[in-house]
Amino acid sequence: MEPSEALSTAAQLALALAGFAGVVIAFRSGSLHEWEPIDRFRLRLLLNNSVLPLIFCATAMLLLNVKPPPSWIWRASSGLAIALTLPVGAITRRAVRAFPAHQFQFTGASRFVFYIFGILGVVALLLQVYNVAVLNVFWAFFAMVIVQLLAGAFQFVRLILIQPEKWQ
């Protein structure tokens, strides 16, 4: 698969995930402001994990359409991924630490799952640094997009499967 095709497909998936966030809000009982803080946090994770890959893919597609394509395209794309992922990751980490452990268990959430995706994110972030410094290849950049999309899909499934009525 060519990079432009992979980016286009990933951008469509990211946009679909962002759209599914609206579906989740529409079909859950109560307004968004009545949700538990942990559920609003999960929704924010879903939106982060769909909007970031969309931005990454759109920027890379823009650079691919410059004629001739710049030789530094994947370095720049990985640099953007680093620049956006670090602050979002730091904010997310701070928000998770603000929740008491019993609240994660009470709502059926698991710190283990959060840390697994955190580790995958850190590995993908380190791969971006290596891509900027040495590699300059598509697959290394695309690894960050895939990790974000997987995390977003996981959050979507969690928001659908966890019934808020059970936990009130």
pLDDT grade for 109, boundaries at 50, 70 and 90: low
Let me know: does 148 contact 13? Beta carbons within 8 Å.
no
Rounded to 10 deg, the angle between the 3-27 and 37-64 helix axes is 160
What are the extents of the domains in the chain?
3-167
Let me know: does 50 contact 14? Beta carbons within 8 Å.
yes
Q: Could you tell me what percent of the chain has a pLDDT over 70?
A: 90
pLDDT tens string 34-48:
877 877 888 888 999
Separation of first and last alpha carbons in the chain: 47
Between CA 30 and CA 27 the distance in angstroms is: 9
More confident residue, 165 or 52: 52
- Write out 56-117 in H/E/C secondary structure: HHHHHHHHHCCCCCCCCHHHHHHHHHHHHHHHHHHHHHHHHHHCCHHHHHHCCCCHHHHHHH
Q: What's the whole-number mean pLDDT along residues 101-127?
A: 79
Q: What's the whole-number mean pLDDT along residues 63-72?
A: 91
> What confidence score (pLDDT) does residue 100 get?
80
Dihedral (CA of 109, 114, 116, 117) sign: positive
In 3D, which of 6, 65, 28, 72 has the Cα closest to residue 168?
A: 28
Q: Quote the mean pLDDT of the chain.
A: 87
Rounded to two decimals, the pTM is 0.88
| Residue 119 phi, psi dihedral angles, 5° rounding | -65, -45
